[in-house]
A and B are shown apart, each in its own frame.
Chain A
Amino acid sequence: MIRCSCLIQAGQVAEKQQTNLEAGLTKIAQTYFSDSAEVGWTHIAKGSGFTDSKPSQSSIISMNVPADTAQETRVDVLHAICDLWSAETGCHVDDVVATAMSA
């Protein structure tokens, strides 16, 4: 199981979009790790998210990947996540932070 943690600003992503993003993350996990994804969501309340000390529009997506994942694969996964977010939400890529973490 590939675990994903998504922190998004409340009201920024519609319910349908969230469903599509979850499906997209599952597809990425299947494509690169032949595994399913477990996606957790945290909605940052209005007035509670800041980037550069200003109200944030950033989404932060962390995918926990196997420790032996090659750097080249991590980069591909990160691009896939950023592309997914931009395409589904219409946000600017500068507002997407993605990590491919291993314990």
Chain B
Amino acid sequence: MPLYLCSSPKNLIAEERKPAIAKELTHIHCDVTGAPSSFVHVFFVTPDEASEGSVSLFGSIRGGRSDDQKTEITSRMSGAVARLAGLDPATVSMGTVDVPAKWAMEGGDIMPEPGEEAAWFAAHAAKAAAS
């Protein structure tokens, strides 16, 4: 968590562009929120019901981000997808949903609240070392 799900019709986003898009979305998330990049998942899907010629980007992010942060994420990410995929920006839409950190588990541990990642990683590493 976060998970960014990028939905588009098949072949609208070239396969060779996906690594660069994933890298840029990961960078933007970390730049805006300060979250560690190892938490960031970017998956591309091609659902049957995808609208022709358009991309839908949806982010499930930990709760606690400010409205300004979410606005910046949405603006920068949708622009990045359009630029890197060679698409008209008007064809890229984006939304986010807040997921309470305490409702999510990664690596067998409840996810930390934003800003508490360092302590989480230390505890996670200690647990792994002890097992």
- The interface of chain A, by Cβ under 8 A from chain B, is 7, 42, 44-45, 47-53, 56, 58, 60, 71, 74-75, 78-79, 81-82, 93-94, 96-102
A93: which B residues are within 8 A, CB to CB?
A: 107-108
Shortest beta-carbon distance, A62 to chain B, in Å? 8
New A-B pairs, 18, CB < 8 Å, besides A53-B23, A78-B104, A82-B108: A47-B18, A48-B15, A48-B45, A49-B44, A50-B41, A51-B41, A51-B42, A52-B40, A53-B22, A53-B37, A53-B40, A58-B41, A78-B110, A79-B108, A96-B108, A97-B41, A98-B106, A102-B103
| B104 and A53 contacting across the interface, CB-CB below 8 Å | no
Q: List 20 A-B contacts (CB under 8 A).
A: A7-B3, A7-B43, A42-B45, A50-B18, A50-B22, A50-B42, A51-B40, A51-B42, A52-B26, A53-B37, A53-B42, A74-B102, A79-B108, A82-B105, A94-B107, A97-B1, A97-B106, A98-B104, A98-B105, A102-B103
| B26 and A50 contacting across the interface, CB-CB below 8 Å | yes
| A48 and B106 contacting across the interface, CB-CB below 8 Å | no
Shortest beta-carbon distance, A55 to chain B, in Å? 8
Q: How many residues of B contact A (CB 8 A)?
A: 29
| B103 and A49 contacting across the interface, CB-CB below 8 Å | no
